Amino acid sequence: MRKSFLSLAATLLSMAGLAQTHQLDINLKKAGAPIPSTLYGIFFEDINYAADGGLYAELVKNRSFEFPNDALQGWKAFGKVEVREDGPFERNPHYVRLSDPGHPHKWTGLDNEGFFGIGVKEGAAYRFSVWARVPDGGESQLRIELANTASMGENHYLCQETLPVAGKEWKKYQLIIRPDRTLDKSVLRIFLTGGRNTVDLEHVSLFPVDTWMGHENGLRKDLAQALYDLRPGVFRFPGGCIVEGTDLETRYNWKNSVGPVENRPLNENRWEYTFPHRFYPDYYQSYGLGFYEFFQLSEEIGAEPLPILSCGLACQFQNENPDAHCPVDELQPFIQDALDLIEFANGPVDSPWGKVRAEMGHPAPFNMKYIGIGNEQWDSLYPEHLEPFLKAIRAAHPEIRIVGSSGPDSEGKQFDYLWPEMKRLKADLVDEHFYRPYDWFLAQGARYDKYDRKGPKVFAGEYACHAKGKKWNHFYASLLEAAFMTGIERNADIVEMATYAPLFAHVEGWQWRPDLIWYDNLRSFRSVSWHVQQLYGQYRGSNCLKLTMNDANVTGAEGQDGLFASAVLDGNRIYVKVVNTTDKEQPISLNFTGLKKKATVKALGGTRLSACNCKLYKDNTLDEPELFKPAPFSFEGEGKRIDTTAPAYSFSIYVLEK
């Protein structure tokens, strides 16, 4: 009766050309479910040159001369350069020998092209390092330059330094160079000089000195800062499909990603060839950003580390042949990898893997609490493979929460099969993936409202709005992510984590979009989706509050005029999130119930992301990094009911105090 009266009123108002005021009832009588600190997090995968050429600040490509098709890929050799393979690092055996070119007017040396060039800043310090020796004994000399080979100027170099090398033994040499200009595409140039005595070079490296937290094997500061600023509660690593491998040989092997960087073996990167229409024959994984750096960064940005490991199944998209996978009765080495990773992260310094961690500089445990086994797996193969992992991890580490998978789809045959299987196996969390179009996001506001509260919990482990025909970052897609996330927040009792994906993309090297953070060699920008994630992280709150419209959750359902909303409590603060997905401003009133008779709520102001029609399909760019960013708005009033508006195409956070 009440509902039909309301809908009649709405019809009359709209006939009169007036937008109906939507009353949002927010019950303050009691705080709802606690919001997990892990609710909003980040997903890292080395796709789109996210690691080498991206977050990992190494500027030299193929620094160990190990690229398998051509040991000198990324390098231009001149004069007398020979590739040899009996070097000092057994898992990266190649190195180069530079010898006298045979004529005083000729030169021997190497240029490195970096990742889409080497980006350097005027006056900044860069640490050049190399392992070298003079194989015949005695002394020799190198000249190290950063060069602009496209320059019309008198000379090419931006800086020049001399590096003496001496003795038959391999040693690490380093020097600091400071370019006199800013350039996004310089070249590292190494000349054999001095007496031109033969020199051997291995692991040629160049890092900015000013990395995130100043680590020598460090991360690009602007990109790590963009992660820190998200206030992520959980950090998933290293993927994604990369976990699985096109074949098991090339799966991400965490043990190869720890220890001295010089001896971390190269792995292929499936994103080199997965999309032949965006093919990158020079895309490999150096593992320079490996599991130690992942745990360290998790700690530094305040996120719970969530490693995902192979379950012994190679990528099922790429392998129909069952022989590609490890048989269940041969899984022990994979299971041991998982147990050893827990020891690496948490074990005492006198345990074998705890010792490796301590030797790398972190004797204290990383206090890892979660582990995921398998990525996008499906069919009975997956539960069969997962079960022995669960048994072994539970037996040795009952304190670790284990994440299973619901396959690659947000619904359908595999999803419907795997969720009950995850319940049967008592996985603690189930990873769901959804890269879906507008209409899916508009229809899924209530997705988690009816999930079984008995668990497992949900990890929305990869998601982004991918509009049909508009698979690029744009405001409207991000707005629908914000709308969908009201449902994550409302259901924080069952959703424990959610991570947008993918995280990073180099503008010249992407395979997949949209992505959260984009960059070239010197600049970066944060997408609108980044701002959506950041706002949820910043206004996460401590407890859910019940918010309804006409007694129903506000999920963009019929009659709710494209509105999505949720509310949380944070001490005496209340954050109400409202997403208006329509092109019309809508009056709303925030109506607080459950208050004592004389108690009131006071509006403090708000912050909002919004766009006009003409910018719906745009996003920030390298040239306009702040085209969109949240803007404060004033929002005033005190009482039990406060009237305000939700502008067209907006995501607003109304901040109030009780």
Q: Where do contacts with ligand AHR occur on this chain (CB under 6 A)? A: 45, 47, 239-241, 375-376, 408, 433, 462, 501-502, 512
* Length of the chain (residues): 658
Phi and psi (nearest 5°) for 297? -65, -40
Among residues 25 and 462, whose Cβ is nearest to ligand AHR?
A: 462
DSSP 214-278: G-TT-B-HHHHHHHHTT--SEEEES-SGGGT-SSGGGS--GGGGSS-GGGSPPEE-GGGTS-GGG
Among residues 366 and 512, whose Cβ is nearest to ligand AHR?
A: 512
Q: Where are the alpha helices (DSSP H) in 360-464?
A: 381-396, 413-425, 438-443
Can you read off the two tokens belonging to residue 625?
């990094």
Helix (H) / strand (E) containing 373: strand 370-373
- The neighbouring-strand residues paired with 128 are 175, 206
Among residues 500 and 519, whose Cβ is nearest to ligand AHR?
A: 500
Residue at token pair 């006409």: 550
Among residues 241 and 549, whose Cβ is nearest to ligand AHR?
A: 241
**CB 270 to ligand AHR: min, Å:** 9
Among residues 204 and 314, whose Cβ is nearest to ligand AHR?
A: 314
Torsion over CA of 382, 383, 389 and 393, rounded to 10 degrees?
130
Helix (H) / strand (E) containing 485: helix 475-490
Of the listed 376, 432, 489, 496, which one is catalytic? 376
Can you read off the two tokens belonging to residue 263?
């001896």
Among residues 223 and 563, whose Cβ is nearest to ligand AHR?
A: 223
**CB 251 to ligand AHR: min, Å:** 13
Among residues 244 and 337, whose Cβ is nearest to ligand AHR?
A: 244
Can you read off the two tokens belonging to residue 592?
């607080």
**CB 63 to ligand AHR: min, Å:** 25
Question: How far, in Å, CA of 159 to CA of 592, rounded?
Answer: 65
**CB 298 to ligand AHR: min, Å:** 19
Among residues 212 and 459, whose Cβ is nearest to ligand AHR?
A: 459
**CB 464 to ligand AHR: min, Å:** 8
**CB 192 to ligand AHR: min, Å:** 43
- What type of residue sits at position 35? I
Those residues whose C-beta lies under 8 Å from the C-beta of residue 469, and which sit 6 or more positions away, are: none
- Note if 139 is an active site residue: no
Question: How far, in Å, CA of 574 to CA of 544, rounded?
Answer: 10
**CB 428 to ligand AHR: min, Å:** 20
> DSSP 3-state assignment of 369?
coil
Closest residue to ligand AHR in the complex (CB): 240
Task: State how far the alpha carbon of 184 is from the alpha carbons of 513, 521, 590, in Å.
Answer: 23, 6, 50
DSSP 167-178: SSS-EEEEEEE-
- What type of residue sits at position 85? E
- The neighbouring-strand residues paired with 545 are 567
**CB 385 to ligand AHR: min, Å:** 17
Q: What is the gyration radius of the CA atoms in the chain, in angstroms? A: 28
Residues designated catalytic: 376
